[in-house]
């Protein structure tokens, strides 16, 4: 599991993370989240690949599973200084 500390409050980090247009700044070519961020939503990539959201708890956690059953889960927590910790685990 990897962790980064973001010098922003949780709601700001969450809003940026779930804003489709911001993904191009830190990941790659995410094209669409259909019907929106929720369990069983489909993430569609520019190259045609698709992933499925298997875990979604607003302001806390997003889990995505790929076509080869690989998974990544992002967890959002706050540290003692009220800064956002973003953790992710790949399986």
pLDDT of 64 reads 96
Q: CA 40, CA 29: separation in Å to the nearest integer?
A: 20
The Cα-based distances of 33 to 4, 13, 45, 83, 84 in angstroms read 24, 18, 9, 27, 24
pTM, 2 dp: 0.86
Under 8 Å between Cβ of 2 and 86: no
pLDDT of 71 reads 95
Show the low-confidence residues of the chain (pLDDT under 70): 83
Provide CATH code, domain 2-86: 3.30.530.20
Q: CA 27, CA 16: separation in Å to the nearest integer?
A: 12
Structure tokens at 59: 């302001």
Structure tokens at 44: 């569609």
The Cα-based distances of 54 to 7, 21, 64 in angstroms read 28, 22, 6
């Amino acid at each position: 599991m990897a962790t980064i500390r973001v010098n922003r409050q949780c709601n700001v980090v969450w809003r940026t993370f779930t804003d489709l247009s911001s993904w191009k700044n830190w990941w790659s070519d995410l094209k669409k989240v259909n019907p929106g961020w929720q369990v069983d939503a489909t993430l569609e990539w520019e190259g045609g690949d698709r992933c499925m959201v298997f875990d979604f708890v607003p302001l806390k956690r997003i889990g995505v599973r790929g076509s080869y059953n690989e998974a990544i889960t992002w967890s959002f927590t706050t540290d003692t200084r009220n800064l956002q910790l973003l953790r992710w685990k790949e399986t």
